[in-house]
Structure 1
Amino acid sequence: MQREPQVVEAKQQGGSKYRYRILAMLFVATTINYMDRSIIGVLGPTLIEHVFHWTKMEYAQINMVFKFAYALGMLGMGGVIDRFGTRIGYILAIGIWSVFGMLHALVQPAFGFIGFCMARAGLGFGEAGNFPAAVKTVAEWYPKKDRAFATGIFNAGSNIGAILAPLAIPLVVLPDGTNWQFAFLMTGAFSFIWVLVWIKIYKKPEEHPKVSQEELAYIQSDVEEGEIEQEKEKMSWAKVLPLKQTWAFAIGKITDAVWWFYLFWGSLFLHDQFGLDLHGLALPMIIVFLIADVGSIAGGYLPKIFLNRGASLNVARKLTLLICALFILPAMFVPYMSNQWYAVLLMAFAAGGHQAWSANLFTVASDTMPKKATASVVGIGGMIGALAGMLADFSLGSVLTASGKEGYVFAFAIAGSIYLVCLALIHLIIPKLERAKI
């Protein structure tokens, strides 16, 4: 179904644009997902000091449980989504994470550590389904040239969720931790509404009555011969694990550990370094994730500029990843800032760089994999990222316990430099972005 891009583009102007409704649903789901997972990061200092009195190592272990379950969920949910499709897979994922998100509110202080470990495990397993489902949906509804931008749009929901959490939580939770339970109950209603709408509107583009022939032609303008029929084949992990494209993507996902660090430890760093409380943390964390939102969208759009200027897909993706890595590098100097706002801005620019990196890295998976394998490969990469985050939590918890806030120097040094290392390894493994033969 190959067509001349300019002809398809012209026809598309008079056709339907239903794919944007689907993209809006992915954005909302990702917003709910990140609002749920961000709550503990915002409440971290309050829960540690006023409610459960955890040590830094216990807080690290709670986050490690979340990431271990997230890693398992990435494998499990990715396979489920490839087997049963995004319609069913997304409903299952958001249902699981919403239930366990609300179960946090039932945990009593006497069982705070074990209770939170159990609730975080269920939350992590369910939340793992969001990105495999979203990336697969983008691959189904957008041609390659638009996928990074579409991914950047839905990925921006992660930052909106992370912004809404510090905005909403101080409205219902007092600085001494009173009413902390309400923070974990906020998103359940949103999830229920989302599921109802998703059931009503979602079908694949070739099956959807509201998608015009012009829009379908645009969506499938770069589909290879026989690819749609091949999507119906069931994909096993045994087929994708040996592929170099799978492991190039997985190595890039090691950087997820840095994002986890900002999400779960960023507020603790600002609390330890500058003495900020629940209300004082709100504005700095909003700034960090607001700039991260800009990075997600801008980073998704940047490769399209390079492609429109004649660059190859390989050059456009990797040049964008290099720009992101260089943009993140100054994060190494965050612990040396004596002014909290300089530290916040460096963290914010690094978070923006990460989200731009993430939007393009997800697109590398859909660039190099047939649609039938996309969710599985994203799941494998997400598992590697979660395991890297577990290792980072254990290391940081140990260092902070042993040496106090000086341990953040080590964390930010890695957070600033690891992207360049990962990009070099990606390029060594796949010098060219080529579609895997499965």
Structure 2
Amino acid sequence: MKPVVRPIRHLRWWIISLVMIGTAVNYLARSALGAAAPTLTKEWNMSTQAYSYVVASFQLAYTIVQPIAGWLLDLLGAKVGLTIFAIGWSLANMAHALATGWPMLAGFRGLLGVFEGAVIPAAMKTVSDWFPAKERSIATGWFNIGTALGSMIAPPLVIWCILEGSWRLAFVVTGGVGLVWAGLWAWFYHRPQQHPRITAAELAYIEAGQAKKPADAPAKGPGWIAIARTRKFWAIAIPRFLADPAWQTFSFWIPLYLVTVRGMDLKQIAAFAWLPFLAADLGSIFGGYLSPALMRYGGFSLLTARKLTVLTGAVLMIGPALIGLAPSAYWAIALFCVGGFAHQVLSGTLITLSADVFPDNQVATATGMAGTAAWTGGLLFSLVVGALATTVGYNPLFVALAIFDLIGAAVLFTLMREKPGPV
């Protein structure tokens, strides 16, 4: 006799909570390096340029793999696909502890990037499967706080591991957490139509709010080239290319900036460097609710509300452009907080647009391709930071981040045409 499986009310929010935790675990792994960077650069006498190569190896692999990861996720489904990738990134992160110099570390960073590239496409595929169109930006906002949550936890956790053991322990711990989450995901996740815990009412609500697939629609979505030929793809990809340098800068360079320019020590960084990521969490939530609020109270269409939300984040990015004028390290951290909040407002909205304008059998592929554009921008800018931070300084680079996002918002308004759809 089979045990009785009790349904869970509002199961979709439990699912997105699990996605949020997985995103946090993913970003905890990648952000461990930034927190350990001051210790590693000192122990190995590693230059800023060499460190930028280590960062770039992750970014290059992550950039290349995202369309492949998205295609695999559309093929295998989020359950199997993300389980495989999560196990891979956890083991690759733990392998960092074996590094004996920056070239070996760069190799392990590249391996980490290969597996970590699946998390955002998988998250958006889950949102597309589990949420009606009108709730997608809210769901994206909630899972997207994981990107900042993982980055926020990394500095105090990694520095605690360094002070209590070594930097090698930090990578073992952050990788081990990922293995636990992978097991939880494999056990609990199913699509709505197959989940044993979903209620009939919730399933009907989800399906009623999603775009109906035409009867003659192919079982598989078009390939990468067909998606790349669409105007709507570039309306998302170009702004993401221009926006992601900000997040890469916040994730990989804040600790080094605070040490080299503002004179902070490890304990001070552990105490304060997580604050911009807390602000980013708030930005993810705010951005998720802003679009529905604009639709409900302003009467805007779905796509116009999305575009106005992106514009709001772009304008707020003027805050970190003023970091060079900050009179103290604490004011600089406050402006980093504004930047973290602003970036997540616009970034989460840009990610959500893939589910708004692409059918469900293309969402992960399109998200992965747009992610490649985003990480290409982040990779190139990290190399620029590594080459110019010690010559021209960080301040002009922070100004550039705000300019990029304002241009990205203009591109989105220009290229993204209105299209009727479920709201």
**Where on the TM-score scale, by shorter chain, does this alignment land: which range?**
over 0.9
Q: Contact (CA 8 Å) 2:281, 2:344: kept in 1 or not? A: yes
Aligned residues: CA RMSD: 1.8
Q: State the 1:228 CA deviation.
A: 8.9
1:25 to 18, 21, 25: 18
Match status 1:427 vs 2:420: no
Q: State the 1:234 CA deviation.
A: 4.4
Return the alpha-carbon distance in structure 2 between the equivalents of residues 376 and 190 of structure 1: 27
Return the alpha-carbon distance in structure 1 between the equivalents of residues 48 and 346 of structure 2: 29
Q: Contact (CA 8 Å) 2:134, 2:209: kept in 1 or not? A: no
Return the alpha-carbon distance in structure 2 between the equivalents of residues 35 and 84 of structure 1: 25
Which residue is 2:338 aligned to?
Answer: 349
Q: State the 1:18 CA deviation.
A: 1.2
Which residue is 1:118 aligned to?
Answer: 107
Q: TM-score, normalised by structure 1?
A: 0.90
Change in CA separation of 1:227 and 1:89 when aligned onto 2, cut-off 3 Å: farther
For residues 152-231 of structure 1, the aligned pairs below 5 Å read 152-174=141-163, 179-226=166-213, 230=217
Q: State the 1:160 CA deviation.
A: 1.2
Change in CA separation of 1:229 and 1:372 when aligned onto 2, cut-off 3 Å: farther
Change in CA separation of 1:409 and 1:61 when aligned onto 2, cut-off 3 Å: same
Number of equivalent positions? 413
Return the alpha-carbon distance in structure 1 between the equivalents of residues 17 and 212 of structure 2: 29
Match status 1:393 vs 2:382: yes
Match status 1:299 vs 2:292: no
Which residue is 1:133 aligned to?
Answer: 122
Deviates more, 1:327-336 or 1:342-351: 327-336
Q: State the 1:434 CA deviation.
A: 6.0
What letter corresponds to residue 334 of structure 2 in structure 1? Answer: L
Match status 1:44 vs 2:32: no
Please give the secondary structure, in 1, of the residue aligned with 2:38.
helix
Change in CA separation of 1:269 and 1:203 when aligned onto 2, cut-off 3 Å: same
Q: State the 1:422 CA deviation.
A: 0.4
CA shift digits 1:308-335 (9 cap, x unpaired): 2222112211111111111111211102
For residues 396-407 of structure 1, the aligned pairs below 5 Å read 396-401=385-390, 403=391, 406-407=392-393
Q: Contact (CA 8 Å) 1:16, 1:214: kept in 2 or not? A: no
Return the alpha-carbon distance in structure 1 between the equivalents of residues 185 and 22 of structure 2: 10
What letter corresponds to residue 194 of structure 1 in structure 2? Answer: W
What letter corresponds to residue 373 of structure 2 in structure 1? Answer: I
Return the alpha-carbon distance in structure 1 between the equivalents of residues 235 and 244 of structure 2: 14
Please give the secondary structure, in 2, of the residue aligned with 1:169.
helix
CA shift digits 1:354-410 (9 cap, x unpaired): 011111111111111111111111111111111111211221111124x1xx42022
Q: Contact (CA 8 Å) 1:31, 1:157: kept in 2 or not? A: yes
User: Any stretches of 5+ residues in structure 2 without a counterpart?
Assistant: 1-6
Please give the secondary structure, in 2, of the residue aligned with 1:220.
helix
1:74 to 66, 70, 74: 66
2:77 to 80, 85, 90: 85
Q: Contact (CA 8 Å) 1:25, 1:198: kept in 2 or not? A: yes
Q: Contact (CA 8 Å) 1:230, 1:372: kept in 2 or not? A: no
User: Any stretches of 5+ residues in structure 1 without a counterpart?
Assistant: 1-13
Which residue is 2:50 aligned to?
Answer: 58
